[in-house]
């Protein structure tokens, strides 16, 4: 009997860790034990994912159960990669059940960057309560509290910053949403770890937003 052959190289690398961050947020493991799917409104995200895994498949579309809009997605089969993902803690129907994942410390920030590109957000603003006060936050999101708590603990273990854990209660039957927010002081420690090189794969529009905010903050600091 021939052994299954995988399309994806399962040896740890920055690209693999980033792709797993995307799977942990926007990905899905089918119940057949073979197929994987990634859905994103941003086709650049899907191209990044395929580049990281060294695969090329056709981008298709699925209908959102909430908005009923067509959303880009890719799907492919790889039994060995599927089993690898299971071995690090990913499962089918992971949305509310995902918890800690077995990510090597060496590649955790690559995973975190993928996770942030998939389901995170970054925003900045001038705080009217303080004269010339420019603020920004780095936020990680999940409908699974154990998963968010694991991320918070892991970041604290590696970097010594805690962040602030909050919950947005659901409406109309949607799942509760948990988030960890890192304010400017902590973000200035975290972001260089996630974006440690100009050559790493990331979602360009999100990185550009971060780069612009950091430039504004640096310019403001020089004035002061």
pLDDT of the chain, 224 residues: tens digit per residue: 455 568 999 999 999 999 999 999 999 999 999 999 999 999 999 999 999 999 999 999 987 666 567 899 999 999 999 999 999 999 987 777 899 999 999 999 999 999 999 999 999 999 887 766 899 999 999 999 999 999 999 999 999 999 999 998 766 556 789 999 999 999 999 999 999 999 999 999 999 999 999 999 998 776 55
CB 211 within 8 A of CB 192: no
Is 14-95's fold the same as 116-223's?
yes
Per CATH, domain 14-95 is 3.60.130.10? no
Q: Domain 116-223 belongs to what topology? A: Endonuclease I-creI (3.10.28)
Report the distance separating Cα 2 and Cα 181, nearest Å. Answer: 49
Cα atoms found within 13 Å of the Cα of residue 203, Cβ hemisphere only = 25
Q: Is 127 buried (19+), middle (13-18) or exposed (0-12) by CB count in 10 A?
A: exposed
CB atoms within 10 A of CB 44: 15
- DSSP string covering 171-192, please? -TTPPPEEEEEE-HHHHHHHHH
Report the distance separating Cα 76 and Cα 169, nearest Å. Answer: 34
Residue recorded with tokens 């089969």: 77
What is the value of pTM for the model shown? Answer: 0.92
> In the chain, what is the straight-line distance between the N-terminal and C-terminal CA atoms, in Å?
71
Report the distance separating Cα 117 and Cα 46, nearest Å. Answer: 11
Pick from 88, 85, 120: nearest CA to 104: 88
Give the residue extent of every domain in the chain. Answer: 14-95, 116-223
């Amino acid at each position: 009997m021939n052994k299954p052959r995988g399309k994806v190289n399962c040896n740890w690398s920055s690209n693999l860790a980033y792709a797993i961050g995307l799977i942990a947020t926007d990905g899905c493991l089918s119940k057949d034990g073979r197929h994987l799917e990634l859905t994103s409104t941003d086709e650049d995200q899907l191209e990044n994912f395929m580049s990281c895994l060294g695969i090329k498949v056709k981008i298709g579309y699925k209908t959102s159960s909430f908005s009923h809009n067509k959303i880009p997605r890719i799907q492919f089969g790889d039994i060995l990669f599927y089993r690898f993902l299971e071995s690090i803690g990913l499962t089918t129907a992971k949305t509310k059940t995902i918890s800690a994942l077995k990510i090597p410390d060496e590649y955790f920030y690559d995973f975190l960057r993928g996770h942030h590109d998939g389901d995170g957000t970054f925003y900045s603003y001038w705080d009217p309560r303080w004269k010339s006060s420019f603020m920004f936050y780095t936020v990680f999101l999940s409908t699974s509290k154990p998963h968010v708590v694991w991320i918070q603990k892991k970041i604290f273990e590696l970097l010594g910053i805690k962040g602030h854990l909050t919950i947005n209660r659901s409406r109309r039957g949607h799942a509760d949403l948990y988030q960890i927010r890192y304010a400017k002081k902590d973000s200035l420690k975290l972001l260089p770890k996630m974006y440690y090189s100009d050559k790493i794969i990331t979602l360009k529009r999100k990185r550009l937003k971060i780069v612009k905010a950091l430039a504004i903050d640096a310019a403001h600091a020089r004035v002061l």
